[in-house]
């Protein structure tokens, strides 16, 4: 993977640098019953990371604090707390410009506060990995899960993945670096999960050996030079194009933006290889398909079981990567579906909109059920909505508080 292979050597923490494909696919796995936060720590332990910059915000605070313990144990090169999320993400940029493998975590209002940095990261081609443990971003204040913030990340030029389970999270943190550090990609990754549903939930996860780690980041595989005031990717620091308003300046920005999005496209082949496809389909022949990402998929899987007990056949399409967007795969998976149900944990239904814009005959899409503001989406509600859609009578469901 690196310009000069370091596989077989030891890192500073005494771990053996291992071929990433072998580490993720062939190495023996140990099952552990862990929270998502603990899983982030364990993945980071094996990521050969140079720096982690932290700022506390629920529900990622625990993971950020556990990363501090890892630093104390010698598994991360450097670790400190920034002054705000904006500061943290700017400091992440500085570290990545300097040639470091960078890791950070944030959530909800923190993501929003730092937003200016994300297109900057992408434009500067910094392969930073940011864990986003989604929570509400509205006022009144909420700390509970809500995926609205993901929709804001979709057009930043970052790669955006949405993990369903702690196992996804563990594997994808490590695989994420492999995709985003490819020379023809070299983009930041927002690795999202639903806060609390993943971070604070204890679940069974299989871990790779703790004495194996990824090869270190090789900054010379960057498609743009490391930070240098004389030759930034575009001359951002001195003599910036913003000072000029002419055709050359517009053309520079336009071509560079196109290049960033071309890099997102080029990540597709690597993502397919590492994540074993951008989507995962279960029971593809079903006329009713539940299509979504994250915890909404988990709730859909439970609804599928409930409906099967009543003789209703349902399939599942789990979308793993949102950027790059699996348009072709979704068209293929849904081509025979009569009803496409899109459960979501946000008020606007951005996922349903993305799917409607992707497939022919988009009236097949049922944009719901949706919950927001921290509500849970019980499988019973998904099942009830599907039955209503099919014209089948439902027994009244007692809601909490009803």
Partner 1 sequence: MIKSRLNIRMSGLGGQGAVTAAHVMAMAASRDGKFAISNPFFGAEKRMAPAESYCRIGVKRIWDRGELVYPDVIEVFHPQVITLGKSYTMPFYSGIKEGGVVVINSDMPLLTKEDQKILNDLNVAVFYIAGTQVALEVAGTELSTNMTMIGSVAGITKCVSLEGLDGALQERFGKKFVASGGTATLDEAIRKKFAKKEMLLKKNLDTVIRAYEMAGEWAAKNNIELAVAAA
| Contact indicator for 48, 216 with CB cutoff of 8 Å | yes
Taking the complex as a whole, how short is the minimal distance between the CB of residue 264 and partner 1, in angstroms? 30
Quick one: which of 203, 259, 280, 282 contacts partner 1 (CB under 8 A)?
A: 203
- Which CB sits closer to partner 1, 360 or 401? 401
CB nearer to partner 1: give 11 or 376.
376
Nearer Cβ to partner 1 (204/357): 204
Q: Is 394 in the site for partner 1 (CB under 8 A)?
A: no
Task: Give, as ranges, the residues between 359 and 378 that touch partner 1 (CB under 8 A).
Answer: 374-378
Look up tokens 């297109």; give the residue: 119
Binding segment for partner 1 (CB under 8 A), chosen from 9-17, 129-137, 294-302, 357-365, is: 294-302
Round to whole Å and give the CA distance between 262 and 251. 16
3-state SS class at 216: coil
Near partner 1 by CB under 8 A: residue from 103, 196, 274, 350 = 196
DSSP for 231-281? --SS--SSS-GGG--SHHHHHHHHHHHHHHHHHHHHHHHHHHHHHTSSEEE
Say whether residue 221 binds partner 1 (CB under 8 A). Answer: no
Contact stretch for partner 1 (CB under 8 A) within 3-11, 75-83, 198-206, 220-228: 198-206
Q: Which is nearer to partner 1, 34 or 103 (CB)?
A: 34
> Taking a C-beta distance cutoff of 8 angstroms, is the pair 256, 123 a contact?
yes
Nearer to partner 1, 11 or 142 (CB): 142
- 163: nearest Cα among 340, 343, 354, 297: 297
Tokens 């009244």 locate to 396
Q: Whose Cβ is closer to partner 1: residue 238's or residue 395's?
A: 395
Residue 169 or residue 325: which is nearer to partner 1 going by CB? 169
Near partner 1 by CB under 8 A: residue from 72, 204, 226, 390: 204
Tell me the window of 150-158, 197-205, 206-214, 220-228 that interacts with partner 1 (CB under 8 A).
197-205
CA 46-49-51 angle, 5° bins: 145
**How many Å apart are CA 51 and CA 325, to the nearest integer?**
29
For residue 84, the 8-state DSSP code is S
Which 318-347 positions form the footprint of partner 1 (CB under 8 A)?
Answer: none
Q: Are 27 and 92 in contact (CB under 8 A)?
A: no
Q: Please report, as residue ranges, which positions from 4 to 63 form the binding site for partner 1 (by CB under 8 A).
A: 33, 35
Closest CA to 25 of 175, 131, 205, 169: 175
Min. distance of Cβ 186 from partner 1 in angstroms?
A: 35
Smallest gap from Cβ 305 to partner 1, in A, equals 8
Rg from Cα positions in the chain:
22
* Nearest to partner 1 of 359, 377 (CB atom): 377
* Residues in 250-289 that interact with partner 1 by CB under 8 A: none
108 is a site residue for partner 1 (CB under 8 A): no
Q: Does 314 bind partner 1 (CB under 8 A)?
A: no
Nearer to partner 1, 16 or 61 (CB): 61
* CA-wise closest residue to 170 among 224, 225, 131, 127: 131
**Interface with partner 1 includes 301 (CB under 8 A)?**
yes
Shortest Å, Cβ 298 to partner 1: 4
Q: How far is the CB of 282 from partner 1 (least distance, A)?
A: 12
Task: Classify residue 276 by burial, with Cβ atoms within 10 Å: 0-12, 13-18, 19+.
Answer: exposed
195 and 163 Cβ atoms separated by less than 8 Å: no
Interface with partner 1, residue 197, by CB under 8 A:
yes
Residue 103 or 170 having the CB closest to partner 1: 170
Tokens 């030079």 sit on residue:
225
Backbone φ, ψ for residue 301 (5° rounding) = -60, -40
Residue in 8, 62, 38, 21 with CA at minimum distance from that of residue 211: 8
Cβ count near 144 (within 10 Å)? 20
- Kindly state whether residue 355 participates in binding partner 1, applying the rule CB under 8 A: no
Residue from 143, 234, 347, 389 binding partner 1 (CB under 8 A): 143
Based on CB atoms, which residue is closest to partner 1, 125 or 162?
Answer: 162
Q: Which residues lie near partner 1 (CB under 8 A)?
A: 33, 35, 143-145, 196-197, 200-204, 295, 298-299, 301-302, 374-380, 398-402
């Amino acid at each position: 993977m690196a310009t000069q292979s370091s596989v077989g050597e030891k890192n500073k923490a005494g771990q053996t640098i291992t071929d990433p494909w072998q580490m993720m696919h062939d190495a023996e796995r140990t099952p552990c019953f862990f929270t998502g936060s603990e899983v982030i720590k364990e993945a980071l332990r094996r990521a050969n990371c140079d720096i982690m910059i932290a700022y506390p915000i629920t529900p990622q605070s625990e993971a950020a604090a556990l990363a501090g313990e890892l630093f104390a144990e010698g598994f991360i090169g450097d670790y400190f707390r920034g002054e705000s999320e904006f500061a943290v993400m700017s400091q992440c940029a500085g570290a990545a410009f300097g040639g470091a493998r960078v890791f950070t975590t944030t959530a909800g209002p923190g993501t929003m506060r730092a937003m200016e940095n994300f297109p900057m990261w992408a434009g500067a081609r910094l392969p930073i990995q940011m864990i986003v443990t989604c929570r509400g971003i509205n006022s009144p204040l909420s700390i509970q899960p809500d995926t609205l913030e993901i929709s804001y990340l979709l057009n930043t030029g970052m790669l955006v993945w949405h993990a369903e389970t702690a196992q996804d999270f563990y594997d994808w943190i490590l695989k994420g670096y492999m995709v985003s550090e490819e020379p023809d990609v070299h983009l930041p990754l927002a690795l999202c999960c639903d806060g609390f549903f993943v971070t604070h939930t204890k679940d069974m996860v299989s871990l790779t050996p703790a004495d194996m780690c990824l090869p270190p980041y090789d900054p010379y595989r960057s498609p743009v030079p490391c930070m240098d005031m004389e030759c930034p990717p575009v001359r951002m620091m001195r003599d910036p194009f913003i000072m000029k308003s002419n055709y050359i300046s517009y053309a520079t920005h336009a071509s560079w933006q196109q290049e960033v999005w071309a890099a997102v496209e080029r990540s597709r082949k690597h993502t397919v290889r590492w994540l074993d496809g951008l989507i995962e389909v279960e029971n593809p022949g079903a006329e009713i398909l539940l299509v979504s990402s994250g915890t909404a998929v988990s709730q859909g899987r439970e609804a599928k079981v409930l409906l099967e007990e009543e003789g209703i056949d349902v399939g599942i399409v789990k979308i793993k990567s949102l950027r790059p967007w699996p348009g072709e795969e979704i068209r293929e998976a849904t081509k025979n579906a009569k009803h496409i149900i899109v459960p979501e944990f946000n008020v606007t239904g951005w996922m349903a909109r993305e799917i409607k814009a992707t497939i022919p005959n988009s009236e097949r899409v049922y944009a719901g059920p949706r919950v927001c503001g921290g509500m849970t989406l019980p499988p019973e509600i998904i099942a009830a909505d599907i039955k209503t859609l099919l014209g089948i009578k439902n027994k009244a469901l007692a809601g909490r508080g009803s």
